[in-house]
Chains A and B, each alone.
Chain A
Amino acid sequence: MSKEKYDPYKGFRDLTGLWEKQMNSLLMAWADNSEFVKLSNRSMATHSRYMELLKKNQETMANLMNMPTKSDVQNVAKLTIQAEEKIDALEEQIWNLQDSFTEINKGNMEFFGELVSLSKEMKTELEKNAKELRETKKVKADLQKLRKELSDTNVLIAELQELRQGLAETSSLKSELQELKQELAQYQEPKTEAKEEKKELELAGVGLGK
């Protein structure tokens, strides 16, 4: 025997689906003509006329009985909606103000930021300048030291010049001495010659005397 379970609704469902589709097509085909459209329009117009009359009578009756009608409630509701619209418009204006404030705040913050960075830069510059000043002082001290050393050097130079002068004098003395020496040498030369002459003479005399 088959294990397949019997579904008593499947066929019914399929048939209903087909029937529904066909019936809808049939109704549409019946309604798809100008006469039906005109008839619908006429029915609608009659209904509208009847409703207008009913509404008019209701308004008259309600007015006589001093009772508010749907139109009165409509008017009140419209006032509430108008108030809501005004609040919305105000909200949008508040947004614009908020936006402008935010913009201004943003500008201020940017300005403050710039100020802060400028102050920081100035501080850095100040520190740099102070450092440079310290260095300049140091350089000045060094310069003074150098100047002092320079003046010492000048003294030294003067001394050196003196020495040089002394040396020059010594040189002139030396040259004088040289000259004297030369002169002395020149003086000693005839003496030697005389000595030699005497010696020669002595030598010759000895020979003669004997």
Chain B
Amino acid sequence: MAIESPVRIPALDYEKEMKRWSQVFKILSEDGPKIEHSPRQLVWRKNKTTLWYYAAEEKKYSTPLFFVYSLLNKPYILDISPETSVIAGLTKRGYDVYLLDWGTPGYEDSDISFDTYILDYLEKGVKRALRHSGEEEISVVGYCLGGTIASIFASITDLPIKNLIVATVPIDFSTGIGPEKWLEGMKNGQFEIDRLVDVYGTIPADYIYYGMKSLAPIYVSPYVGLMSRAHDSKYVERWRRMDKWLNDATPFTGAALKQMFNELYKENKLVKGELVIGGKKADLSKIDCPFFAVSSANDSLIAESQSLPIMDLVSSEDKTYKLVEAGHVSLALSGMFAPLVDEWLASRSTKVEDKTN
């Protein structure tokens, strides 16, 4: 006669455990994942900056999209895997996409400021995209600090911008995710970076990486998460891609960092309308095209309060704000940004059939 144990012992799935540990071993022993991009074409290259063109699978909209990514990370997060790629999501939905990859600045680029980035790289890139597409107007999408750059650009340029979309964008630098006293220290001059920037010229990628890490120095849960779900090969693949991207920071040019620190963080000039780029005042109220801003609710880098003021600053009559349940990275990593953009942009882009008629 069988005796039932009074203590409930759950069964262990040995097969699953074997798979889990073989995957962990694989991650530890293998090289990092190789990022395969969607089919793309090189349009223009200047210094380290590259303009890529991703053709629509079946072109539905004649107005192309121009992506401006942050200066702090690599833009391949927008095209990280075929299933979750934001760019592939948009080309599948019928848009021609251009992506401006800032590249990795070197010591020789230390004097590249926001002025140079916006006027000599972004504006020229948009000009080339317009010429390449043969269209008269273009929609600009800025992600993270790329959104700040895109907004400044839109406020000073004469180029025909049909729509402006910004995601997880820092505009108001008086507030932020970091500790209150740090922000105060930056504003009242207790914390200065000029000397460090001058000596390094271009701030190395590791410093940028650790700078961002300093907002959450203990970083173990992603590894525990990986171990607990290592049996799921799809999850492992996704995790590895994200891990590669997170560890792949970009050096920051000294002039741009000084400008960001002194003019944006310290003096908050963009919100005040006092920022001058290439001799022109970057007044956000000059943005009058249809405008869409997306913020992520669980953002660990950009607070919603940093993005929201732009809604009052732009003078667009057609403006939309959306707060989505996502993180700063997962908005792009999961690919959910593509349907969001398409939903808003579809009715605001010129359709191919309308143009041919």
How many whole Å from B47's CB to the nearest CB in chain A?
A: 5
Tell whether, in the assembled complex, residue B108 and residue A38 are in contact, meaning their CB atoms are under 8 Å apart. no
Interface range for A: 35 or more
Q: Judging by beta carbons under 8 Å apart, are B196 and A47 in contact?
A: yes
Question: Looking at the complex, which one of A32, A74, A84 makes contact with B180 (CB distance below 8 Å)?
Answer: A32
B228 within 8 A of A: yes
B226 CB, min distance to chain A CBs, angstroms: 10
CB-based contact A48/B196 at 8 Å: yes
Whether B200 lies near A51 (C-beta < 8 A) is: yes
Bound Cα distance from A70 to B107, whole angstroms: 8
Q: Kindly report which residue of chain B lies nearest to residue A47, judged by CB atoms.
A: B196
Chain B residue, CB-CB nearest to A11: B228
Report how far A59 CA is from B220 CA in the complex, Å: 42
* Given A20-B219, A24-B218, A34-B195 contact (CB < 8 Å): no
Whether B199 and A40, one on each chain, are in contact in the complex, defined by CB atoms closer than 8 angstroms, is: no
Chain A residues, CB < 8 A from B28: none
The chain B residue sitting closest to A31, CB to CB, is B179
Question: Which residue of chain A lies nearest to B200 when distances are taken between CB atoms in the complex?
Answer: A51
* Complex: A37 Cα to B192 Cα, angstroms: 10
Query: Contacts A23-B218, A28-B179, A38-B190: A77 and B106 contacting too (C-beta < 8 A)?
Result: yes
- Measured between alpha carbons, how far is A163 from B220 in the docked complex, in Å? 140
In the assembled complex, the Cα of A61 lies from the Cα of B8 at a distance in Å of 74
A20 pairs with B218, CB closer than 8 A: yes
How far apart are B187's CB and chain A's nearest CB, in angstroms?
11
Interface residues of A in 1-54 (CB under 8 A from B): 1-2, 4-10, 12-13, 16-17, 20, 23-24, 27-28, 31-34, 36-38, 40-41, 44-45, 47-49, 51-52
**In the complex, what's the smallest C-beta–C-beta distance from B200 to chain A, in angstroms?**
7
Cα A43 to Cα B11 in complex, Å, equals 55
The residue in chain B whose Cβ has the minimal distance to the Cβ of A9 is B228
Q: A residues 42-90 with Cβ under 8 Å of B? A: 44-45, 47-49, 51-52, 55, 70, 73-74, 77-78, 81, 84-85, 88
- B3 on interface, CB distance cutoff 8 Å: no
A5 touches B228 (CB 8 A): no
CB pair B184–A34 under 8 Å, yes or no, is yes
Q: Say how far A186's CB is from chain B's closest CB, in angstroms.
A: 110
Contact assessment for A41 and B12 in the assembled complex, using a CB-CB cutoff below 8 Å? no
Give B204 Cβ to nearest chain A Cβ, in Å.
12
CB pair A81 B108 closer than 8 Å: yes
Q: Does B182 interact with chain A (Cβ within 8 Å)? A: yes
B124 at the binding interface (Cβ < 8 Å) = yes
Q: Which of A36, A38, A48, A78 contacts B195 (CB 8 A)?
A: A48
Task: State which residues 29-74 of B face A: CB under 8 Å.
Answer: 46-47
Q: List the 4 closest A-B pairs by CB distance, nearest first.
A: A6-B10, A37-B185, A77-B108, A9-B228
**Given A2-B10, A31-B182, A36-B181, 15 additional A-B pairs, CB 8 A:** A1-B8, A8-B12, A16-B224, A17-B221, A20-B218, A24-B218, A32-B182, A37-B182, A37-B191, A44-B192, A52-B195, A70-B107, A73-B107, A74-B108, A85-B120
23 A-B residue pairings within 8 Å (CB atoms): A1-B8, A2-B10, A5-B12, A6-B10, A6-B13, A7-B228, A9-B227, A10-B228, A17-B224, A20-B218, A20-B220, A20-B221, A24-B218, A31-B181, A32-B180, A34-B181, A37-B190, A41-B185, A41-B191, A44-B195, A48-B199, A77-B106, A88-B124
